[in-house]
Amino acid sequence: MNRCCPLANVRIVLSHTSHPGNIGATARAMKTMGLSTLYLVNPKSFPDHEADVRASNARDILEQASVVSNLEEALHDTVLTVAMTARLRNLSHRILDARQAAKALLEHASNSPVALVFGRESSGLTTVEISKCQLTVHIPTNPDYSSLNLAAAVQIMAYELRMALTETTLIPPQQPAYQLANFQEIELFYRHLEQAMIDSGFLDPKQPKRLMQRLHRMFARTQLEKEEVNILRGILSALEKHRSA
């Protein structure tokens, strides 16, 4: 159990996985999102070279993985267990979507271990396995082709867990790399632009229509920076100068 980081309390449990490549890809998917605790219930082949290859630099997750012989061992000590289901079966369990399930898991993971359980590649979890879990989670998919790869399903859940943890705060508020132009600088630019348009005959001051208004709207959307105003005014000056030369 880990009180400092809820993600460390989230176990990913793979039951009876056939393809070792999927175990490796699962490790990588987990590590990219900050998960680290992997349980393997009766994997067909593990350890396995293919798992190592697909794990890339997440082999530490494989090395620390717990290989157990039944689901009960993998769920030992957990306070919330969520079963992944590909089909919206007439299940007795409450079904959450991936986002809701991630929130539910994290809510409890601050204090205690929780588990997210994935079944066989071909047939998913058995009814008996599902009955050992408290909730089921379904990832919304294309109804005509819902065959998510096992590691892809883990990736989506791991991503939702990370998103739930951070509520998108992982991207630090962007410090504007450049300084925005102030009101006066922009006004001077507009006047410069308007004069250049008049001098060149593009804008008829007697019939201005809504041209300046449209340009205002466009540059307002841009949120011009100081240097950009300088560049734009530089271009205008060069074109005017060249013209009068």
Distance CA 43, CA 214 (A): 64
In the block, residue with structure tokens 């460390």? 8
CB of 142 to a copy of itself, least distance (A): 4
Q: Does 56 bind a copy of itself (CB under 8 A)?
A: yes
User: For a copy of itself, which is the closer residue by CB, 118 or 219?
Assistant: 219
Q: Does 159 bind a copy of itself (CB under 8 A)?
A: yes
Q: Does 12 bind a copy of itself (CB under 8 A)?
A: no
Helix (H, G, I), strand (E, B) or coil at 9: helix
Distance CA 145, CA 188 (A): 58
Q: Which stretch binds a copy of itself (CB under 8 A): 11-19, 73-81, 111-119, 140-148?
A: 140-148
The residue count for binding a copy of itself (CB under 8 A) is 71
User: For a copy of itself, which is the closer residue by CB, 69 or 244?
Assistant: 244
In the block, residue with structure tokens 């798992």? 51
Distance CA 138, CA 142 (A): 12
Which x/- pattern over 190-229 shows residues binding a copy of itself (rule: CB under 8 A)? ---x--xx-xxxx--------x--xx--xx-xxxxx-xx-
- Residue 136 sits at the vertex; the CA angle it makes with 133 and 142, to the nearest 5 degrees, is 150
Residues 69-108 that bind a copy of itself (CB under 8 A): 88, 90, 92, 95, 97-99
Q: Does 1 bind a copy of itself (CB under 8 A)?
A: no
Q: Does 122 bind a copy of itself (CB under 8 A)?
A: no
User: For a copy of itself, which is the closer residue by CB, 59 or 68?
Assistant: 59
- Nearest in space to 83 (alpha carbons), one of 107, 58, 101: 101
Q: Does 57 bind a copy of itself (CB under 8 A)?
A: yes
Q: Are 159 and 151 in contact (CB under 8 A)?
A: no
User: For a copy of itself, which is the closer residue by CB, 42 or 240?
Assistant: 240
Selected from 71, 133, 162, 186, the binder of a copy of itself by CB under 8 A is: 162
- Residue 164 sits at the vertex; the CA angle it makes with 159 and 169, to the nearest 5 degrees, is 95
Selected from 76, 131, 140, 187, the binder of a copy of itself by CB under 8 A is: 140
Distance CA 59, CA 14 (A): 16
Q: Are 64 and 36 in contact (CB under 8 A)?
A: yes
User: For a copy of itself, which is the closer residue by CB, 76 or 243?
Assistant: 243
User: For a copy of itself, which is the closer residue by CB, 128 or 167?
Assistant: 167
CB of 83 to a copy of itself, least distance (A): 15
Contacts of 114 (CB under 8 A, 6+ apart): 9, 10, 11, 78, 79, 80, 81, 82, 105, 108
